[in-house]
Structure 1
Amino acid sequence: MRAYGTDCIHEHACVRCPVLIVALDEKPRLEEIRDNLKERIAEGERWFGEVEGLSTSLAAAEDKIAQIEAQQEKKQSPVFLGLPSLSQLATRTSEATE
């Protein structure tokens, strides 16, 4: 674990971090990172170790994008608050006494 605000020695390690919470407005940047990783993987097929590391970063970037899309979908979907039943509405009863 590294101290907050320090430079990471691994390229794209922050994208791989499972505790990284990405803001919704960061989706275009993550898509750019993902596309760049795909290009680099295609370019680096000769170097197995490089492709393996890039593939790990790519999977992490795609996971973060999926998280953002799920957040957006959840934010846009209606929330069912439920409806009270008749017995919940009519909880008071009165008895007429004469």
Structure 2
Amino acid sequence: MLTINPKMLPRLDEIEDDLRVRRSRAAHEGWLGEVEGLDLTLTFLRRKREQTQLLTRIAPVNLGMPGVRPGVSS
């Protein structure tokens, strides 16, 4: 699954604005297939934004660096 860096959330807003403008033009021109495709893309974009915002609320856990066990050779 592709994850989005939370710093990129403003870029997702820009992309959504552009998609809405393109969808409006497609609807005005009667391009029904284009409208459907843009609606689907907008749905995926909004879902990805929600997932990213959810991940920003989860505190990261430091698992530390694993150590080498004594007596084990490679």
Partner of 1:70: 54
In the alignment, structure 2 segments of 5+ residues that lack a partner are 60-74
CA distance in structure 2 between the aligned counterparts of 1:61 and 1:67, rounded to whole angstroms: 10
> Structure 2: which amino acid aligns with 1:36?
D
> Structure 1: which amino acid aligns with 2:49?
I
Indicate conservation of the 8 Å contact 2:3/2:52, yes or no: no
Q: Greater share of helix residues, 1 or 2?
A: 2
The RMSD of aligned alpha carbons is: 1.1
Partner of 2:2: 20
Runs of 4+ in 1 over 4 A off after TM superposition: none
Task: Report the number of matched residues.
Answer: 57
Higher relative contact order (CA 8 A, sep 6+): 2
Instruction: Output one character per residue of 1:46-83: Cα deviation in whole Å (capped at 9) or x when no partner.
Output: 100001111111111101111111112234xxxxxxxx
Q: Does 1:39 align with 2:21?
A: yes
TM-score, normalised relative to structure 2: 0.69
TM-score, normalised relative to structure 1: 0.54
CA distance in structure 2 between the aligned counterparts of 1:48 and 1:36, rounded to whole angstroms: 18
